[in-house]
Amino acid sequence: MKIPAQGRKKEAIYQELKKRKEADFDYKKGRIFTSIYDAGEEAQEVIYDAYKMFLTENVVDPTLFPSLRNMENEVVSMCADLLHGDKHTSGTLTSGGTESCLLAVKTAKSHARKTNPNIKAEIIIPYTIHFAFLKACEYFDVRAVITPVTGDYKADTKAIEDAITANTVLIVASAPSYAYGSVDPIEEIGQIALKHKILFHVDGCIGAFIMAFNNKAGYKMPPFDFSVPGVTSISMDLHKYAYAAKGCSVLLHKNSEIRKSQYFISTDWTGYNAINPTILSTKPGGPIAGAWTAFQYFGEAGYIKIAQDTMLATEKIIEGIKALDGFYILGDPLTPLVAFAHKKYDVFQIADELKSRGWFVTSQLSSKVAPTNLHITVTIAHRGVEQEFLHALQEALDAVKKGYTLKKLKDDATTIIIKKLVNNMSADTLAKISDKLGFSGGETPEKLALVSRLLDELPNEVTQPMLLDFMSDFYTLEE
């Protein structure tokens, strides 16, 4: 494809953009239970207008735009206050949770290298940790030491202590974990970190903000922040439960000395002295202004109300799910992150049935500790649609029940055959199968249940190349 030879008129471009948007999932009615945080049109407008005011600015040189530097310092300070930091707590706004997690690992590695330049860095991560930490390990050549979780999906603290070696540079825990919404025993892990003098990062990317406001709203959360001795850094995404514009998270450190290990500095290249706090060099001003504006717009009272309403919606949905025949909740969610499974029926088919009724929930594969299940991230947008969702869930279950016996037989047979076949299959045959499943040509198959089930059954060696092909095709221009 080529850039249009001549520029087009704004009206024509915008019209086309609107048309293109029609293909997208309609999130405005609270029917999506992942990745979207929508506090309503007025909030969006206020925040996005602020974002637009700083679209061209670039924070690569913090001396040029004191407005943005000050807003960043203020947002960091408000976050530190929220998480019981003190006057030493320091932080940085990043482009999102992943960047905050990557930087937490980078900081720990650089920090350890100050005293031990040749250390073969390792980090200890419980099994339920977000994949951003596996990504950090791959990107930064750090060894991931994965420790088990207990029956309630919380980090096994003894296993963490046993896993410590002379190369351990960081322990990580979740408050809460994304997939099952479990909050790790932060206090106990903090004691271990103190005893062994190791940095301890709390991944509060998704939950720290709402947990802090749950406390203010009267829902008592287990201790998870800087009030816990031993915690040395916390990541908290503002583009999730703070309802800021996308592209904003904060990484807080116990003090500015540790934060210096996060910075990259080069005085040896041909240009200016480069000192980058984050992975990005050119850093947009929009997300900073957006986060600052979100804090001003909602205020503490607004966020408390949002937390209350979100928890009410969550409780209503949890109770409703439990009341539906055969469904059960994984663990004991204290925050709006909920995973649920069904005793008998295939949850992936239930997800498909929900989708055909306009509702989107996330299918989660089985793990060492849980069966296949469905994940919902409940937000303020779901307050008021709980009953509608539960009704759709009941309908979806009924629909799956109907075609069940035959379908189950077929699926079981498929599973057995596939397990048998897969070991002897050539790459060519596998490519054909993935093609049949819709894993090529850049199209997502309409019904995902069979695909999810296969992905759950097949070994990684088979699924990973398939998924990479799929993504590569997905990002190839259609003919």
Ligand X SMILES: *Cc1c(COP(=O)(O)O)cnc(C)c1O
* Binding positions for ligand X, rule: CB under 6 A: 96-98, 101, 130, 132, 174, 178, 203, 205-206, 237, 249
Provide the minimum distance between the beta carbon of 181 and ligand X in the complex, in angstroms, as a whole number.
10
Given the structure tokens 């976050």, which residue do they identify? Answer: 79
Provide the minimum distance between the beta carbon of 96 and ligand X in the complex, in angstroms, as a whole number.
3
Q: Which is nearer to ligand X, 178 or 327 (CB)?
A: 178
Provide the minimum distance between the beta carbon of 266 and ligand X in the complex, in angstroms, as a whole number.
26
Crossing angle of helices 404-422 and 449-457, in 10° steps, is 40
- How crowded is residue 329: how many other Cβ atoms within 10 Å of its Cβ? 18
Provide the minimum distance between the beta carbon of 100 and ligand X in the complex, in angstroms, as a whole number.
7
Q: Which is nearer to ligand X, 90 or 174 (CB)?
A: 174
Report the residue closest to ligand X, judged by CB. Answer: 97
Provide the minimum distance between the beta carbon of 227 and ligand X in the complex, in angstroms, as a whole number.
20
92 in Cβ contact with 260 (< 8 Å): no
Q: Which is nearer to ligand X, 178 or 209 (CB)?
A: 178
Provide the minimum distance between the beta carbon of 6 and ligand X in the complex, in angstroms, as a whole number.
38
- The conformation of residue 18, written as its DSSP 8-state character, comes to H
Q: Which is nearer to ligand X, 207 or 230 (CB)?
A: 207
Determine the 3-state secondary structure of 84 from DSSP.
coil
Q: Which is nearer to ligand X, 129 or 466 (CB)?
A: 129
Q: Which residues contact 418 (CB under 8 A, 6 or more apart)?
A: 454, 457, 458
Provide the minimum distance between the beta carbon of 19 and ligand X in the complex, in angstroms, as a whole number.
29
Q: Which is nearer to ligand X, 249 or 364 (CB)?
A: 249
Amino acid sitting at position 368:
K
How deeply is 395 buried, as exposed, middle or buried, from its count of CB atoms within 10 A (0-12, 13-18, 19+)?
middle
Q: Which is nearer to ligand X, 374 or 430 (CB)?
A: 374
What b/e readout covers 144-181, taking b as 16+ CB neighbours within 10 angstroms?
bbbbebbeebbbbbebbbebbeeebbbbbbbbbbbbbb
Alpha helices in 54-178 (DSSP H): 66-82, 97-115, 132-140, 157-163
Q: Which residues contact 461 (CB under 8 A, 6 or more apart)?
A: none
